[in-house]
Amino acid sequence: MKYRVSTNKATILHDFRAEYPGENANNPYCVVTMMEEGDPSDDSRYWAFILHCRDYNLPDPWGPNAYKGILVYDKDFYGKDNGKIISTLKREDPKWRLGTFASMSPSGKYVWIGDHHYIYPRDFSSGPRDLGICCHADMEISAEGREVVFGFALKDGMWSKGYWATMVDIETGELTYLAGPIGRAEYHFSGNSTDKPGWGLVSIYGPDYPAKDTQWMQHSIFMVELTKRTNPSPRVWRIVQTRTVLKSYQDAPFAKINKKGTKIFFGSAWGQSIKDPGAQYDVYQINLPSTWYQDLMGK
Segment 203-256, tens digit of pLDDT: 999 999 999 998 889 999 999 999 999 999 999 999 999 999 999 999 999 999
Give the 3-state secondary structure of 1-50. Answer: CEEECCCCEEECCCCHHHCCCCCCCCCCEEEEECCCCCCCCCCCCEEEEE
Contact (CB, 8 A) for 46 and 75: yes
pLDDT of residue 73: 97
Please state the pTM of the whole predicted model. Answer: 0.89
Q: What is the percent of the chain where pLDDT is above 70? A: 97
What's the CATH code, domain 136-299? Answer: 2.40.128
Share the mean pLDDT of the chain.
91
Widest Cα–Cα separation across the chain: 61
CATH 2.40.128 location in the chain = 136-299
Give the span between the Cα atoms of 224 and 179, in whole angstroms. 8
Specify which residues 287 forms β-bridges with.
Answer: 263
Q: What is the percent of the chain where pLDDT is above 90? A: 71
Give the span between the Cα atoms of 156 and 162, in whole angstroms. 9
pLDDT of residue 99: 87
